[in-house]
Amino acid sequence: MGFSGVDALDDDRIARRLRTTPDELTPAEARSVAATLLADGAFSEPYCEWLPTWYELALIAPVRYGDWRLRRVAGAVAERASVTATAPRFSRPTDVRIDGAPALSRVSGFRERFLLADSLLHLEWFDHVAAADGIEVPDGLVARTREESLSYYGGERDRLSPEVRRFQRHLFADDGWVRRVDEAYGLDSALFGLWERLLRDERRRLGGD
Question: What does the chain come to in residues?
Answer: 209
Contact, 33 vs 14, CB < 8 A? yes
- For 59-94, the pLDDT digits (tens) are 999 999 999 999 999 999 999 999 999 999 999 999
184 has a pLDDT exceeding 90: no
Determine contact, residues 180/205, Cβ cutoff 8 Å: no
Rounded mean pLDDT, 121-143: 95
Please give the mean pLDDT across all residues of the chain: 94
pLDDT band at 1; cut points 50, 70, 90: confident
For residue 2, the model assigns a pLDDT of: 85
- Confidence label for 117 from pLDDT (cuts 50, 70 and 90): very high
At 113, the pLDDT band (50, 70, 90 cuts) reads very high
Q: What pLDDT shows up at residue 139?
A: 82
**C-alpha atoms less than 13 angstroms from C-alpha of 193 in its C-beta half-sphere:** 5
DSSP state at residue 138:
P
Cα-based distances in Å from 128 to 1, 43, 100, 199: 17, 11, 26, 21
**What value does the mean pLDDT take over residues 182-203?**
89
Per-residue pLDDT at 6: 86
Per cent of the chain over pLDDT 70 is 100
The yes-or-no verdict on residue 209 having pLDDT over 70 is: no
Average pLDDT value for residue range 115-131: 97
Bridge partners of 98?
A: 101
* pLDDT tens profile 144-157: 999 999 999 999 99
pLDDT > 90: percent of the chain: 82
